[in-house]
């Protein structure tokens, strides 16, 4: 049985969603953030030295990093959600978005979150942060208009990987249907998938 360590308000929803798409049995081990600091519990370091989630225990291994977890699960249970080299354009677009989500877009959104919380102390960098966030969101908006899904005509794990930063963009970076219609359309398609909706229900805070 695959065991998913899940933290409320976190990236681990994407792992649960993938497992729902694949129809693979799993169980959720729930962890809660500190209500004052919003940090993950330090006890997670007993499972992995960094104490970061998502974290999955599978086949006797403890895996961290969303991208690695998704690649491992796809290799063993769902290669159909990773376009193969026989479709070169979709294959390389898929691989690009798998890396871009956490390597490029999320760092900009995280900087915005931090600078927003810093108030006046962030004035020297706020303009640069806003410029970079807008640059990335304008880029994603254009790319999201090229095809129904990020890798092409078919849904893939790249859409799962990009879902979190795109949802953060709506919550914290001013993305709306008026400003970014292609991103909004893509998110609507993502959130309409039955497996996504089941994952949200499974990941919901139980109290």
CATH class of residue range 88-193 = mainly alpha
pLDDT at 48: 87
Q: Whole-number mean pLDDT of the chain?
A: 93
CATH number listed for the domain at residues 2-81+195-203: 3.40.30.10
Residue extents of the structural domains in the chain: 2-81+195-203, 88-193
The DSSP string of the chain is: -EEEEEESSSTTHHHHHHHHHHT--EEEEEE---TTT-PPPGGGGGTSTT--S-EEEETTEEEESHHHHHHHHHHHH-GGGS--TTSHHHHHHHHHHHHHIIIIIHHHHHHHHHHHHHGGGGHHHHHHHHHHHHHHHHHHHHHHTSSSBTTBSS--HHHHHHHHHHHHHHHHS---TTT-HHHHHHHHHHHHSHHHHHHHHHHS---
Measured CA to CA, the distance from residue 124 to residue 121 in angstroms comes to 8
pLDDT tens digits, 147-158: 999 999 999 999
pLDDT tens digits, 167-191: 999 999 999 999 999 999 999 999 9
DSSP H or E run through 78: none
Tokens representing 47 are 């499972």
Identify the residue with better confidence: 113 or 142. 142
pLDDT tens digits, 27-67: 999 988 777 777 778 888 988 898 888 999 999 999 999 99
Residue 207: pLDDT over 60: no
Question: Is-same-fold flag (2-81+195-203; 88-193)?
Answer: no
> Shortest CA distance to 2 belongs to which of 81, 79, 61?
61
pLDDT tens digits, 64-111: 999 999 999 999 999 999 999 999 999 999 999 999 999 999 999 999
Tokens representing 9 are 């308000």
Measured CA to CA, the distance from residue 196 to residue 200 in angstroms comes to 6
Identify the residue with better confidence: 166 or 40. 166
- Can you give the pTM of this predicted structure? 0.93
pLDDT at 161: 98
pLDDT at 41: 82
Distances in Å between the Cα of 105 and the Cα atoms of 101, 165, 205 are 5, 7, 27
């Amino acid at each position: 049985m695959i065991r998913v360590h899940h933290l409320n308000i976190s990236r681990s929803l994407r792992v649960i969603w993938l497992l729902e798409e694949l129809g693979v049995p799993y169980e959720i081990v729930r962890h809660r953030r500190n209500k004052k600091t919003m940090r993950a519990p330090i006890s997670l370091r007993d499972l992995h030295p960094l104490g970061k989630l998502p974290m999955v225990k599978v086949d006797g291994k403890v895996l961290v990093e969303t991208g690695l977890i998704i690649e491992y699960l796809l290799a063993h249970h769902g290669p159909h959600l990773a376009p193969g080299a026989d479709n070169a354009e979709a294959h390389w677009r898929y691989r690009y978005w798998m890396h871009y989500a956490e390597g490029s877009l999320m760092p900009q959104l995280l900087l915005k979150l931090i600078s927003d919380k810093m108030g006046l102390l962030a004035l020297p960098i706020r303009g640069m942060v806003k410029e970079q966030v807008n640059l990335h969101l304008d880029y994603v908006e254009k790319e999201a208009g090229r095809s129904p899904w990020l890798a092409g005509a078919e849904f893939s794990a790249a859409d799962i990987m990009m879902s979190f930063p795109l949802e953060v963009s709506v919550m914290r970076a001013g993305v709306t249907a008026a400003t970014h219609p292609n991103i909004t359309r893509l998110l609507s398609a993502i959130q309409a998938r039955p497996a996504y909706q089941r994952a949200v229900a499974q990941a919901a805070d139980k109290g």
